[in-house]
Structure 1
Amino acid sequence: MDLTDIVADIVAYIAAQEDRGTVASYIPELASVDPAGFGIAIVTADGAMVAGGDADAGFSIQSISKVFALTLALGKAGDQLWERVGREPSGNAFNSIVQLEQERGIPRNPFINAGAIVVSDVNLGGHQPRVAIGEMLRFLRYLTGDDSIAINEAVAASETATGFRNIALANYMRAFGNIHHPVELVLGTYFHQCAIEMNCRQLALAGRFLMLDGRHPDEGRVVSPSRARRINALMLTCGHYDASGDFAFRVGIPGKSGVGGGILAIVPGRASIAVWSPGLNENGNSRLGTLALERLAQRTGWSVFSPAGDSADQ
């Protein structure tokens, strides 16, 4: 199996697609992104990097940041976090408020917006947002070995100015006692976290600890093996909002999408993968990024449901 050839095939396949999806217009700064872009980067367990397309183009990671925020929050609160956030797929849109009323302010999982806002409340930890955001940036720089990772302040300002539904979600949960800090501080943390900018190479590097059972390949253990497996499990069942089941059916790899068009996908023990294409499908996930991962899974045989060692090209 030659990953270089497979990546080249995927880049050519994606370039031929006419339907490139629709960029996220509800965040003004994202509405202006060219939908023609596509990048892919794969880091394998032996440390090799294979990339193609616009793999060096920076993009707003948006909800992919929820994976790293959850990792930090579990480090602070441990399993007590699950008293405030569930672990079940939502079946509703990522910014839905419907279930919060039925379930008394407890979000279904940490990857929908309401759940991620609770996670931001945990990570705020009585500090100002700049402290929590600084911790997130240090974490990502540690995972990647790249100190250039930063926040796109224009995107953060755009989200702050237009994030009325997230403001409603936070206030609603505050009314149930599930947000402990002032709403504006929690949302300041959340909006800036989502506005972190990375490229495919950096994002694939950041996911290595989830590929390696919780270990950083150079710096030692990041989380326990059981915690890494549980984060991957949540990515598989909840990482694509109300299309998570379809993604598991078609791709079979734990993944977390963002409305900036990125997807981080993890093949435990084998690869950390980042794809990016800003045009979204009707569920808010990258249309071409999803197609690329589906083609990658077909060509490699990579799937958490495949027998160990099985590969389509072997």
Structure 2
Amino acid sequence: MPGLEQALAEIAAEMAQRTDRGDVAGYIPQLSKIDPMKFGMAAVTNEGQVILAGDADQPFSIQSVSKVFTLTLALGKVGDGLWRRVGREPSGNPFNSIIQLEHENGIPRNPFINAGAIVVSDVLLAGHQPREAIGEILRFIRSLADDDTIIIDREVAASERATGYRNFAAAHYMKSFDNIHHAPELALGVYFHHCAIAMSCRQLAMAGRFLANAGRSPASGHTVVSAERARRIAALMLTCGHYDGSGDFAFRVGIPAKSGVGGGILAIVPGVASLAVWSPGLNANGNSKLGSIALEKLARAMNWSVFAP
């Protein structure tokens, strides 16, 4: 795509000079060890062009970006019945908040906050042992990315389990409303492991291609989800993908995206391209600081926006 390669190179060069990089997620011990100077960016167009910049081939913990893929799987299993257990509204609160659960009878606001993703993990557990559900998630992501080398970082998963007190609290609280159907520890085991999947920007952008291509995998031509479901997943990414910073991201960038506290962001330009960016330092909302800035600059340079005429 004319101009895209140059835009990525210029943005990566600019980001390399930035000193205001945010703070790594210190509350997860394994993530606190990541070098905040890392920056990678990848774009995969619907025509198959792959453009990389910076540390685009270095794997990182995708964390909550994985919730896009678990949501896709859960919708494939239970369809719109999922929305009886999880809402579709922005939370307006931090990603690990449990305040709204009390007021809303154990129904999480959306599938991208932690509580919502734990319910999604519980849905994926149905009829499975945790190991089987985790394997299904990993196989799905590998197939989307067309890459069998993608792994789960077991040390990150163990680190999250050891420090995930709020997630345990949310799961047990939702269990009291019968919105977790399995033992909370089992649902949390699935949740912690899918958050600990490690991918590079290249792999992540490849895995997101189906959302930019009306639900179809450009590599195989197979339909992953219907075009309507792809639009709806993208809509949730736009409105809820950056937690209590989602409105500001939509205002500044204007394309669907999902962030993770590992510093990654998966972004979708419908009909055009799948994008991934990684910079470990986070802003006050728990989203990649430089990643958000880089996507804003790229969207402006390429005139990408779901609000464009």
TM-score, normalized by length of structure 2? 0.99
Q: Letter of the aligned partner of 2:118 in structure 1?
A: I
Distance 2:249 2:17 in 1: 22
In the alignment, does 2:307 pair up with 1:305?
A: yes
**What is aligned with 1:165?**
166
| 2:191 aligned residue | 190
Aligned residue in 1 for 2:244: 242
The Cα offsets for residues 169-220 of structure 1, whole Å up to 9 and x where unpaired, read as: 0000000110000111100000000000000000000000000000001321
Distance, in Å, in 2 between the alignment partners of 1:285 and 1:196 is: 18
Tell me the secondary structure at the aligned position of residue 245 of structure 1.
Answer: helix
Query: What is the root-mean-square deviation of aligned Cα atoms in Å?
Result: 0.6
Residue 68 of structure 1 corresponds to 69
Q: Once superposed, which parts of structure 1, at least 4 consecutive aligned residues long, lie more than 4 Å away? A: none
- The alpha-carbon deviation at position 107 of structure 1 amounts to 0.3
- Aligned residue type for 2:224: V
Aligned residue in 2 for 1:121: 122
1:35-71 per-residue CA deviation (whole Å, 9 max, x = no partner) reads 0000000001101000100001110000000000000
In 2: Cα distance, 1:283 partner to 1:130 partner? 32
What is the one-letter code of the residue matched to 1:157? A
Equivalent residue number for residue 277 of structure 2: 275
Tell me which moved more, 124-133 or 159-168: 124-133
Aligned to 2:94: 93
For residues 300 and 3 of structure 2, what CA distance do their matches in structure 1 show?
14
Amino acid at match of 1:134: G
Q: Could you give the per-residue CA deviations for residues 214-246 of structure 1, whole angstroms, max 9, x where no partner exists?
A: 000132100001000000000000000000000
1:263/1:276 contact within 8 Å kept: yes
8 A contact 1:126–1:181 mirrored in 2: no
Shift of 1:126: 3.0
Q: What is aligned with 2:200?
A: 199
Preserved contact between residue 277 and residue 287 of structure 1 (Cα < 8 Å): yes
Question: What residue in structure 2 maps to residue 285 of structure 1?
Answer: 287
- Give 1:18 shift: 1.1
For residue 257 of structure 1, what is the amino acid of its counterpart? S
- Per mean C-alpha deviation after superposition, the further-off stretch among 11-20 and 286-295 is 11-20
Structure 1 position 15, deviation (Å): 1.0
Which deviates more, 8-17 or 282-291? 8-17
Matches within 5 A, 1:1-314: 1-219=2-220, 220-307=222-309
Aligned partners of 1:297, 1:8: CA distance in 2, in Å?
Answer: 14
Q: Structure 1 unaligned segments of length 5 or more: list them.
A: 308-314
Cα offset, 1:127, TM superposition: 1.5
CA distance in 2: counterparts of 1:230 and 1:176, whole angstroms: 27
Identity of aligned residues (%): 69
Counterpart code for 1:17? R
**Contact 1:43/1:208, CA 8 A, preserved across alignment:** yes
CA shift, 1:3, in A, is 1.2
Letter in 2 for 1:55: A
Q: What is the total number of aligned residue pairs between the two structures?
A: 307
User: Any idea what the Cα deviations from partners look like across 1:227-284, whole Å, max 9, x if unmatched?
Assistant: 0000000000000000000000000010000000000000000010000000000000
Q: How far 1:9 sits from its partner (Å)? A: 0.5
Residues 94-140 of structure 1: CA deviation (Å, up to 9, x unaligned): 00010000000000000000000000000011321110110011101
CA distance in 2, matches of 1:303, 1:142: 28
CA distance in 1, matches of 2:50, 2:307: 24
Q: Which amino acid aligns with 1:33?
A: I
Counterpart-to-counterpart distance in 2, 1:56 and 1:141: 16
Q: Distance in 1 between matches of 2:78 and 2:101?
A: 22
TM-score normalized with structure 1 length: 0.97
